[in-house]
Amino acid sequence: MHTPLANEINRESTPLNTRPITPYTLKAPVEADGFSWPSFGARQRAEETPEQEQQRIGRIADAVRTILTEVGEDVTREGILDTPERYAKAMLYFTKGYQTNIRADVLNNAVFEEDHEEMVIVRDIEIYSLCEHHLVPFYGKVHIGYIPNKKVIGLSKLARLAEMYARRLQVQERLSKQIAMALQAILKPMGVAVVIEATHMCMVSRGVEKTGSSTVTSSMLGCFRAHRTREEFLTLLNRR
């Protein structure tokens, strides 16, 4: 049995030693029923009746009333009276990506056989999402590129794909990866590239309060990992 020396540092376990790796990267991007990395309760939201949805809104509204009371507000005053229900409906909209079916609602049979093997780029796709750490917005633009391997996707579907993943509680790094991995699984192209440029209100309006800051993340798969292809993609992005 090892006896610690007097000058040895007692190191506590790190999160990497105590928690498993985020499992979404180990799962197929599109499940058999068409959902993409469904969260706990995603299918329940997708299948609920209007009456069940109204009950969900009521439960969220009750929780918001508690929050408003605890921050010192009067939940009976005119300006606040209907805020809990408004917030509940807004939150369900902000997170509608959980209940989106990628096959039926996003792709909708818009994958086509096409003899094209040159780079396709759709840039400046606006996204709005919620940071899962503080539940405040981050927003910006997504740029998506891919090199087809006999299959192309309707251009608007790239925007819908980004929208689906953005309308969840997110971190920008994961959002970049999810878009890239899903497109890779759907088309099986020679490569996929995703770049996101976003402003985070959790950094702008609280904490360090750096109003001019922005965050850039990327995910490069397949041939985009090669230096020449990556450079071509980034050069085309910067050409205005």
pLDDT of residue 182: 96
Longest Cα–Cα distance in the chain: 70
pLDDT of residue 48: 95
172 is catalytic: yes
User: Which residue in 85, 134, 197, 232 is the catalytic one?
Assistant: 134
What is the distance between the alpha carbons of residues 220 and 229, in angstroms, rounded to a whole number?
10
Whether residue 150 is found in the same domain as residue 179: yes
Whether residue 209 is found in the same domain as residue 117: yes
The answer to whether the Cα torsion of 186, 192, 198, 200 is positive or negative is positive
113 is catalytic: no
- CATH label of the domain that carries residue 151: 3.30.1130.10
User: Which residue in 117, 126, 132, 173 is the catalytic one?
Assistant: 132
User: Which residue in 44, 52, 53, 133 is the catalytic one?
Assistant: 133
User: Which residue in 85, 116, 202, 232 is the catalytic one?
Assistant: 202
Whether residue 151 is found in the same domain as residue 233: yes
User: Which residue in 131, 143, 163, 223 is the catalytic one?
Assistant: 131
User: Which residue in 143, 163, 184, 200 is the catalytic one?
Assistant: 200
134 is catalytic: yes
Whether residue 231 is found in the same domain as residue 127: yes
Tokens linked to 48: 């609920």
223 is catalytic: no
Whether residue 153 is found in the same domain as residue 49: no
Task: List the one residue out of 157, 161, 151 whose CA is nearest residue 196.
Answer: 161
User: Which residue in 170, 172, 178, 184 is the catalytic one?
Assistant: 172
Whether residue 115 is found in the same domain as residue 93: no
Up-side HSE of residue 83: CA atoms within 13 Å toward CB? 16
Whether residue 179 is found in the same domain as residue 67: no
* Within-domain flag for 213: yes
For 112-130, the pLDDT digits (tens) are 999 888 999 999 999 999 9
pLDDT of residue 65: 97
What parts of the chain have a pLDDT lower than 70? 1-24, 206-210, 240
Whether residue 154 is found in the same domain as residue 196: yes
pLDDT of residue 84: 97
Number of domains comprising the chain: 2
133 is catalytic: yes
The residue segments making up the domain with residue 174 are 111-238
* Within-domain flag for 8: no
Q: Which residues contact 144 (CB under 8 A, 6 or more apart)?
A: 121, 122, 123, 125, 158, 161, 162, 179, 183, 192, 193, 194
Whether residue 146 is found in the same domain as residue 51: no
Whether residue 27 is found in the same domain as residue 128: no
Whether residue 64 is found in the same domain as residue 132: no
Whether residue 90 is found in the same domain as residue 151: no
pLDDT of residue 119: 94
